[in-house]
Amino acid sequence: MHKEISTYERQGFGQTLEAKAPFGLLIVDFVNGFANPDVFGGGNIAPAIARTEKLLAHARQQGWAVAHSRIVFADDASDRNIFGIKVPGMMTLTEDTPNSAIVAELTPAAGELVVRKTVPSAFFGTSLAPWLTQHGVQTLLVAGAVTSGCVRASVVDAMSWGFRPLVVSDCVGDRAIAPHEANLFDMAQKYATVLPLTEALEATARAGKA
């Protein structure tokens, strides 16, 4: 066993976090700009979007609460923040620019929440947490982009709000594979359950029968 992994185990990280119903689904920033390798995309984001189509269809079939997030800055950049300074291109994601629109394959349906944000976490400064609470969500499945950024930030905040994050590993993507894999490992050790789509749906099915 790799030395670092044995250290995590010895120190008690990576304990089992069982899925509990009711379930919700959060799709983080799967917008055109992150689907396009020439803008903010690349890596394994495209296949993650394709897998998320199946996850979203299942969530809708099961009647889960579904939420989406978008990065949206003001047209006049009046809300420019540290995120916008660190990554200036984010300031181009305004309400009506095509790059800020959710990809057509995952277009939100009636009754699904869409939160607009100007920071990595879909929870910070938005109505997401109370909306999920209102819908009774205990376990929150998470898909989206990018694994090392807005997905991770949203997962940490989901855990902090008392939800049980379940990161669907093949439904999250990053523009580079190394940070994608490193952050999946780290989230599994500290904040969330991490499972591929097939196993995630099996876990929710088992929990739903409990």
pLDDT value at residue 1: 44
Say if 94 falls within a structural domain. Answer: no
Q: Cα(158)–Cα(147) distance, rounded to whole angstroms?
A: 15
Q: Please indicate whether residue 171 is annotated as part of the active site.
A: no
Helix, strand, or coil (residue 129): helix
Say if 53 falls within a structural domain. Answer: yes
Q: Cα(141)–Cα(168) distance, rounded to whole angstroms?
A: 7
At 51, list the tokens: 């897998």
Q: What is the CATH number of the domain that holds 129?
A: 3.40.50.850
Domain span at 180: 19-70+100-110+119-209
What confidence category does residue 209 fall into, taking pLDDT thresholds of 50, 70 and 90? low
Say if 82 falls within a structural domain. Answer: no
Say if 66 falls within a structural domain. Answer: yes
Domains: count for the chain: 1
- Of these residues, 129, 141, 150, 194, which one is catalytic? 150
Say if 85 falls within a structural domain. Answer: no
The pTM score is 0.95
What confidence category does residue 210 fall into, taking pLDDT thresholds of 50, 70 and 90? low
Express each pLDDT in 137-166 by its tens digit. 999 999 999 999 999 999 999 999 999 999
CA dihedral of residues 49, 105, 125, 190 (deg, nearest 10): -20
Average pLDDT over every residue of 15-33 = 96
Give the containing element (helix H, strand E) for 133: helix 128-134
Contact between 172 and 29 (Cβ < 8 Å): no
Say if 95 falls within a structural domain. Answer: no
Say if 173 falls within a structural domain. Answer: yes
Say if 130 falls within a structural domain. Answer: yes
In DSSP terms, 167 is beta-bridged to: 142, 194
